[in-house]
Amino acid sequence: MLKELQKKRSDLKDISEEAKEKRNSLNAEASVLAAKRNDLNKKTKDLINEAQELKVLRDEINEKVSEYKNKRDDTNAKANELFSKADSIRKQSNMGGPSIKALRKDIDRLEFAQQTEVLSTSKERELVGKITQLQKQYHVKKVQLESNSELKDLLDEAQKIRDEASEFHTELAEYARQAQEYHEKMIAAFKEADKTRAESDVAHREFVKAQEAADEQHKAFINAQKEIRDLDKEIFKLKKKDKEGKSRVVKSELQKDAKSIFEKFKGGAKLTTEDLMTLQRSGLV
């Protein structure tokens, strides 16, 4: 019985040590996963903050886009109104047809073609004829315009306002470019945050799995330790009982020897030192 209990205790000791090693290993793994998860959570938080800051910048720039769009549209509306008045004056003064600005643009385009393109003689004569005709129209328009100060001033003012609208449009386009840049960066930051959040979720699930496994091993360790303590109590009782049994046997033998020696003593036999010690241990003397 005692040997069986001691064998069982030895087996439980092995189980306990194995569970302890596995628990410690799993706790170390869980610690690494927790650190990884925390780092990813911090990265996610930083990316979301960055994305939010970019959103604020984008929205501020979009306000500028809206502001300069309104300025451009209002200014163009003023310019269109003046150009409309100029058209009315032209009609009243029999100055219909293309504007002096449009004529100048066509002349410059044809002259550039004449200088840069390889043309046949007939095509070049045709082109020169068109340029000459447009120059005459341009000259007539210029004379008409210069002779009509009201129309000239009106067109100058309209063009000045149109140029101002063009400047507003240029600034609007730049703000729109900046807003788009901030928007794209914001979207990229949110996507990266989603990616790191997903990685963090995976790390957390692995952490929970390792932690639960470590808890199971800890329970196995605790249970084995409890069983060992219970066995130690049983083993102690058995050893004590065995010891007491042996003690009774020894005492019985001692009493038997002592009686034999005492009888010899009463018969006049001489006792040795060892005989005297046996009698003392037995309590007969």
208-246: pLDDT as tens digits: 999 999 999 999 999 999 998 888 888 777 777 666 555
* pLDDT at residue 271, rounded to an integer: 64
Answer whether 238's CB lies under 8 Å from 1's CB: yes
Torsion on CA atoms 153, 158, 164, 165, rounded to nearest 10: 180
Query: Which CATH class for the 1-234 domain?
Result: mainly alpha
**What is the reported pLDDT for 253?**
67
Query: Long-range contacts for 80-85 (Cβ within 8 Å, ≥24 apart)?
Result: 82/154, 82/155, 82/157, 82/158, 82/161, 83/155, 83/158, 83/162, 85/154
The predicted structure's pLDDT at residue 278: 61
Residue with tokens 């979720």: 201
* pLDDT at res. 105: 84
List all residues 6 or more positions away from 150 whose beta carbon is below 8 Å from its beta carbon. Answer: 89
Coil, strand or helix at 148: coil
Residue 265: predicted pLDDT: 61
Quote the strand ranges of 103-238, DSSP E.
none
| pLDDT of res. 282 | 58
pLDDT at 32: 96
Nearest to 42 by CA among 202, 196, 206, 198: 196
pLDDT at 275: 63
pLDDT at 200: 96
pLDDT tens digits for 84-94? Answer: 887 777 666 55
Domain ranges of the chain: 1-234
Q: What is the pLDDT of residue 181?
A: 96
Q: What is the pLDDT of residue 194?
A: 96
> If DSSP codes are grouped into helix, strand and coil, which group holds residue 118?
coil
What parts of the chain have a pLDDT lower than 50? none
Q: What per-residue confidence (pLDDT) applies to 40?
A: 96
Cα–Cα distance for residue pair 113/8, rounded to 1 Å = 108
pLDDT tens track for 10-35:
888 999 999 999 999 999 999 999 99
pLDDT value at position 255?
Answer: 65
